[in-house]
Structure 1
Amino acid sequence: MTTGMNRRAALGLGAAAVAVVGSGTPAAAEPFTPFPVGTTPAQLIQWVYLRETRAARGAWQSLITLGGQEVVSARADDVVEAYSVNKVAVAVAVLDKVDRGQAALTQRLEVTADIINTGGDGIFPLDGAYPSSVTLGHAIALLLTVSDDTANRLAGLVTPTTEVNATLVAKGFPKTQVVGTANPNRFYLGKTTPRETHDLFNALAAGRLLSATSTAYLLKILRSQAAHTDGVRRNLSSDERARVATKAGWFNDGRNEAGIVFDAAGAPALTYALFSQGAGDPADFGGTHAAVKARATLGRPFVTAVPAPTARAAYTPTNGG
């Protein structure tokens, strides 16, 4: 198969067509001109994906669907390092245990000095307030918003490595697995495939993974204004950001993000799983990284492709007090 699809071929695609099937490594940059009037949302997403991933370079493994139809598929079944995108899978395993009555969001977890991931992302390495304790709900909120690595260790106190993996296999995600350590309650975030991550987000939004209460809880966190804003959500308004549930992951030269755009009725309409390696500066973990900029550019055609609610989102910041 070819690595991509040129503009002439893309113009012939229908809105529900599979847009990209190939190696996942973008070809050398080639000129792009805007699509004519009448371009479908699916064609626009495909065009922007090709333009941005080629500009970013590196290797990409992706799956994007709109209305249940594949728009972009590039090595979607490759097993890849998930990095913090797999924190959603970890949260699913924890909340499954809550649904079974074997854990509770209100239970307290001890935050000891030895559990702090001093070199990781998050709040716990910064607060200087340990030993202390937090609730499981607090830990999950930090796990999925600021991608707190100590919160990942706290989640492991509730769901050991073997339980996380067994839960994911039972729910139909055998390639989405964490990697154990000598400590049964600590794990690296492991691997997945774009298709499994895509399908996990879809199954979550459809209520097939967790109870209605746990589903709403998890999606509320992923759609919150505090959730990741450097990628797909960067150039969106606060109302638009509230329509997107997303989780990013980064380590070494990998830059990943997966999520859902919800329609006017609150139903999942567009799902994306974007994994990349080797693009940009591997020491740049900010918004200036080439792969992160590519994802940020994709945010606009993503939300434009999905009907928006007529009412404003219920985001109400405060000014203290």
Structure 2
Amino acid sequence: MTIRMNRRAALGLGTVATAGTVFGAAVPAAADPGRVAPAAGAGAGGNPRRIAARIGAAYRRESGRAGGNWQAYVSLAGPAGGDPLEAVSESADRRIEAYSVNKIAVAVAVLDKVDRGLLTLDQQVEVTAGIIVPGGDGMFSLDGAYPSLVTLGHVLANLLTVSDDTAVRLCGLVCPAAELNQILVAKGFPNTQVQPVANPNRFFLGTSTPRETHDLLRALVGGALLSPASTEVVLRMLRSPVAFTDGIRRDMSSAERARIATKAGWFADARHEAGVIFDAAGAPLVTYALFADGQAGADDFGATHPAVQARARLGRRFLTLTAGLGGAGTAHRAHLHRPSNGG
């Protein structure tokens, strides 16, 4: 906790204005053009404004039960395809360390370069022994057979699913910190920034605000950040069965989990998660950015941590409250998961 506060002070972090240029803007079709789900509330399910209020009540109950500090922003698709309804706003403009939630932003910057023809997903990057994060999360630190070559697509898959720490450094080889931050500023996210270090190809994962993380996700699913193909890359990974399952998706069936694109971040006493819940047709329904720190169990990075347990209960509650509601905007169909027994 002390380390994080010192770094915040060094960076001059505090309550700041967030970018409003992306959220709510007209956006092009994304991964499944032309397939637009019904407006929220169409057909069945209840009053969206009342449901947004109940989502807020559930958040207050669970965050209070977990204790500690919470910074959050949650919205529900608005009625008749209108603006999203604010369900939760708590310290939503506070700039804080986002930890691995910012791996979404890293992936967006890398894929922006792919969209501009500067990189390709099948190009290879070298994994050397010196680039491995010792003891870090993910698979690269478990390999032990270096040097090796992997594709950039393989790097992104590990970055966004098992949240591989070495994958961050591999992304830095093709998108240095200064360039990455410039890309994010140009897209309207001045607070979602990585923290450069002496080596220009390495960085700490940096900062964001709950509102800006929420808006980045909204812009992503709306097709405002990346090409349809690159948008699909990110969402396919964040909705995959191997993506984070201890929080929002924990108490759900495999079919329910496939409706949710999510990314968690954890370090020291912080336990964050942000993502999008889609309706049954694949249209965005609930967008959430839940940042928490200061709870008991700073050494517990599992599903028993109070903030992670709170998010698991919230995920189940979000699905229950929104059953029968339709999302709004371009639909993104889940990819069919076929379990394999080898062969």
TM-score bracket for the superposition, by shorter chain length: 0.7 to 0.9
- Looking at structure 1, the residues matched to 178 and 47 of structure 2 have their Cα atoms a distance apart, in angstroms, of 42
Find 2:216's aligned residue among 191, 200, 205. Answer: 200
Aligned to 2:65: 55
Among 44, 54, 73, the alignment partner of 2:54 is 44
Compute the displacement of 1:112 (Å). 0.3
User: Which deviates more, 44-53 or 185-194?
Assistant: 44-53
Which ranges of structure 2 fall in alignment gaps of 5 or more residues?
1-45, 78-83, 327-332
Query: How many Å separate the matches in 2 of 1:238 and 1:175?
Result: 34
**Number of the residue aligned with 2:202:** 186
1:84 aligns to 2:94 (yes or no): no
Indicate if the aligned counterparts of 1:168 and 1:177 stay in contact, CA closer than 8 A. Answer: yes
Partner of 1:315: 337
Show the counterpart of 1:266.
282
* Pairwise CA distance, 1:269: 1.1
CA shift digits 1:243-273 (9 cap, x unpaired) = 0000000001111000001113311111000
Are the aligned partners of 1:269 and 1:306 in contact in 2 as well (CA < 8 Å)? no
Q: Which position in structure 1 is the counterpart of 2:262?
A: 246
Tell me the secondary structure at the aligned position of residue 294 of structure 1: helix
Please name the residue that 1:9 is paired with: none
Q: Give per-residue Cα distances to partners, 1:184-214, cap 9 Å, x unaligned.
A: 0000000000000000000000010000100
Structure 1-normalised TM-score? Answer: 0.86
Which of 222, 226, 233 is residue 210 of structure 1 equivalent to?
226
The letter for the 1-side match of 2:336 is A
In structure 2, the residue matched to 1:127 is 143
The structural deviation recorded for 1:16 is 5.5
The structure whose RCO (Cα within 8 Å, separation 6+) is larger is 2
For 2:281 and 2:60, how far apart are their aligned partners in 1?
30
Deviation, structure 1 residue 15: 5.5
For the Cα contact (< 8 Å) 2:236–2:334, is it kept in 1? no
Instruction: Give the C-alpha shift of residue 274 in structure 1.
Output: 0.2
Name the CA distance, whole Å, in 2 between partners of 1:129 and 1:211: 35
Root-mean-square deviation (CA), in Å? 1.7
Q: TM-score, normalising length from structure 2? A: 0.80
**Letter matched to residue 341 of structure 2:** N
Note if 1:109 corresponds to 2:125.
Answer: yes
Shift of 1:154: 0.3
Query: Residue 66 of structure 1 corresponds to which residue in structure 2?
Result: 76
Aligned-pair distance for 1:308?
A: 7.9
AA aligned opposite 1:124? F
Instruction: Give the drift of 1:306.
Output: 4.9
Secondary structure at the counterpart of residue 219 of structure 1? helix
Residue 114 of structure 1 and its aligned partner are, at CA, apart by 0.3
Is the 8 Å Cα contact of residues 259 and 334 (structure 2) preserved in structure 1? Answer: no
Q: Give the Cα–Cα distance (whole angstroms) in 2 for the partners of residues 187 and 252 of structure 1.
A: 18
Contact (CA 8 Å) 2:277, 2:285: kept in 1 or not? Answer: yes
Unaligned segments of structure 1, at least 5 residues? 1-13, 18-39
Percent identity reads 61
Name the counterpart of 1:155.
171
